[in-house]
Structure 1
Amino acid sequence: MTTAAEPLASIRFRALGTTAELVVTEPDRLPIATDLLRTELRAVDETCSRFRDDSEIAELHRHAGSPVRVSPLLAEALQVALRAAEATGGLVDPTVGQAVCDLGYDRDFSAIARDLAAPVKPAGEAPGWWRITADWPRREVVVPRGVRLDLGATGKAWAADRASTVLARELGCGVLVGLGGDVAVAGRAPAGGWPVVVGEDHAAADPLRDPVIAVASGGLATSSTVCRTWRRAGRTVHHIVDPRTGDIPDPCWRTVTVAAATCADANTASTAAVVLGELAPAWLAERRLPARLVASDGRVVRVAGWPEEAPA
């Protein structure tokens, strides 16, 4: 959620199974900005959604084991996901798709059953991102048989990066795009930066209760283990999977918020931090990524220059 002292124009709407937020520094450009954003997000959904039988990634799965020529958009999304996997040593891995489905997240979140009685055996270690082969100049990709992709750890953040850049270039003004709490900014920022409320649930963030930080460039992302949850065989599970086990990570952090050069980098790091557990603060500090981690007991840990809490 954003908040600002100076007049800005903003709109919220549903997209990609979450809330999309758009803020621009030129109020008269909001209508065209909204149309452009809807077009961008529609293209991302048609290309990358694992919940649509007619998506391009679904077609890629149907031709598993064979080279498939993909669109420039899917090629870009896959490259971002594979770079994230390599940069984190596999802590973030797009081949966890089957594990996520086994936990019950096999359709849009609004449609999944919130209490699934049937037990599930963890899928085990993810097949591994390195098994995805590609000839990028030809845009030919091979997904091995039995491998199901899930771009959830990078997809929405990459979409926010891409959309904010496109809109700022087309409109010539400052743009903030938020998708499910993942925020990317481009163009001229408001005086003092874009004020962003950092809350446990982006849809309910409150500047009178939650910390507010200023974002001048790049991206900000929050990974949470308490918002998108459901019950499976008597235990609470969520959408973040440890690729090393195929199961949810051991409970440690309620939320991890990271600032980085891009929203995709920020979300990659926040997801990896949830998977790492107690090792996360040192891992983030080593990479000089400002972060705010909230433990299961409410303890707040700040690393790499994340600012102290201040009144709104």
Structure 2
Amino acid sequence: MRFDCFGSRCGVWGGDELAARRRLEAWHRQFSRFRPDSELSRLNRDPREVVPISADMARLLTAIHDAAAATGGLVDGTLLHEIEAAGYRTDLGTPVPLDVALALAPPRQPARPRSERPGFTLIRSLDSFFVRRPPGLAFDSGGLAKGLFADLLAEAADGPLAVDCGGDLRFAGRRRTLEVTDPFGGPGLHVFEVHDGAVATSGIGTRSWLDAAGRPAHHLLDPATGWPAFTGVVQATALAPTAVEAEWRAKATLLSADPSWLVHGGLVVLDDGRHELVPARSRAAGLGPNASKVQAARGALMT
């Protein structure tokens, strides 16, 4: 079953597809930053330092926290003001052709984390959740929300299931194939086989625009500058056990221009059109840069 959700195309195959669709659409209403009545928009407008939140919001903020911890702040879900300043304030129309955007783009350089990252804390009291954050800190659900919801649906399934949340895919119970498309419009680049696991692709070609000064822009920001990152990588596909992990690994790869983030395998497309297939790393080689920091940082998140 295919349908529009999260500003893109989503799909569910297996199990109660209609119930899964309704749940995804409910999450969209709850977490879209483009809906003024969503829980996310209300949280971002709330002037209080400590704000009550739902259990699902607590899950999303945990995913945002973990992605930042794993990537040293490179994948930053608190850049809402920056993405709006760059021009992404509503659903976008037809994207700027990738070759045009690259011709107008600034010199390539890897993105960097902010020198000082504002933190936030989750508070749990019995069955209630709260978030404490500094004044002005706002959250952008972005791709991490789509990965989280794909994971939640797959983990609740009692049989084979495939979920596609706008390019964040989670598979359970049956081997499936996934073709990586060429962002420049050429033939497919590679076909991955996935059984129980996830795949996410992050790229600069689908959500792009020209800003007021005529400069090319897209939704993947360099946290250090707050502006769209042009790193020499235009698309990264990551395999991982969960869609949330696949999402932050794909983003970290593109932002850093470093394929070593793809420890479970993946594919990178460069802005000259070449692509590189990255094999999965052996378990003995570890889980990639900074990934071990997640559990250490998790203890400081919840009080």
Q: TM-score, normalised by structure 1?
A: 0.77
Structure 1 segments unaligned to the other structure (5+ residues): 1-10, 115-123, 307-312
1:14 to 4, 14, 29: 4
Kept in 2: contact 1:256–1:292 (CA 8 A): yes
- 1:269-308, CA deviations, whole angstroms, 9 ceiling, x for partnerless residues? 111111102xx12x326xx2312101001121222339xx
SS at match of 1:265: helix
The corresponding residue for 1:303 is 278
**Match runs of 1:45-56 below 5 Å:** 45-56=28-39
* Contact residue 92 and residue 153 of structure 1 kept, 8 A: no
- Residue 175 of structure 1 aligns with which residue? 161
Shift of 1:179: 1.6
Q: 2:198 aligns with which of 212, 219, 235?
A: 219
Contact 2:74 2:113 in 1 (8 A): no
More contact order relative to length (CA 8 Å, sep ≥ 6): 2
SS in 2 for 1:139: strand
Q: CA deviation at 1:143?
A: 3.1
> 1:109: how far off?
2.8
Determine the structure 2 residue equivalent to 1:259.
239
Match of 2:61 among 78, 83, 88: 78
Q: 2 CA distance for matches of 1:50 and 1:64?
A: 17
| Structure 1 residues 222-272: Cα deviation after superposition (integer angstroms, max 9, x where no partner) | 001112111112221111011111011133112100000101101101111
The alignment status of 1:292 with 2:271, answered yes or no, reads no
Deviation >4 Å, runs of 4+? 110-114, 124-130
Maintained 8 Å contact 2:31/2:141: yes
Percent of aligned positions that are identical: 29
Matches within 5 A, 1:196-275: 196-200=178-182, 209-232=188-211, 233-275=213-255
- Residue 75 of structure 1: CA displacement? 0.8
* Counterpart AA for 1:289: H
In 1, Cα distance between equivalents of 2:115 and 2:36? 22
Check 1:17–1:149 CA distance in 2 against 1; reply closer, same or farther (3 A cut).
same
- Give the equivalent residue in structure 2 for 1:3: none
Distance change (3 Å), C-alpha of 1:85 and 1:149: same
TM-aligned CA distance change 1:234 to 1:269, over 3 Å:
same
CA RMSD of aligned residues (A): 2.6
Residue of structure 2 equivalent to 1:152: 142
Letter of the 1:134 counterpart: L
TM superposition shift of 1:156: 0.8
1:34-66, Cα deviation, whole Å (9 max, x unpaired):
221222112211221111111111111222342
Q: Find 1:64's aligned residue among 47, 61, 64.
A: 47
Q: Give deviations 1:160-196, integer Å, cap 9, x for gaps.
A: 1112222x23xxx21000122211012x20xxx1111
Mapped contact 1:90–1:128 kept (Cα < 8 A):
no
Q: 1:205 to 1:196 in 2, by over 3 A?
A: farther
Is the contact between residue 96 and residue 126 of structure 1 (CA under 8 Å) also seen in structure 2? no
> Alpha carbons of 1:246 and 1:164: their partners in 2 closer, same or farther (altered >3 Å)?
same
The answer to whether the 8 A contact 1:47-1:57 is kept is: yes
SS in 2 for 1:98: helix
Alignment match, 2:26: 43
Greater mean deviation of Cα atoms: 68-77 or 209-218 = 209-218
**CA distances 1:103-141 after superposition (whole Å, capped 9, x unpaired):** 111112349999xxxxxxxxx976965422221444110
Name the CA shift for 1:112/1:127 in 2 (closer, same or farther; >3 Å): farther
What is the aligned counterpart of 1:90 among 55, 59, 73? 73
Q: For the Cα contact (< 8 Å) 1:94–1:129, is it kept in 2?
A: no
Q: Secondary structure at the match of 1:154?
A: helix
CA distance 1:111–1:303, change in 2 (3 Å): closer
CA–CA separation in structure 1 for the residues paired with 2:201 and 2:48: 35
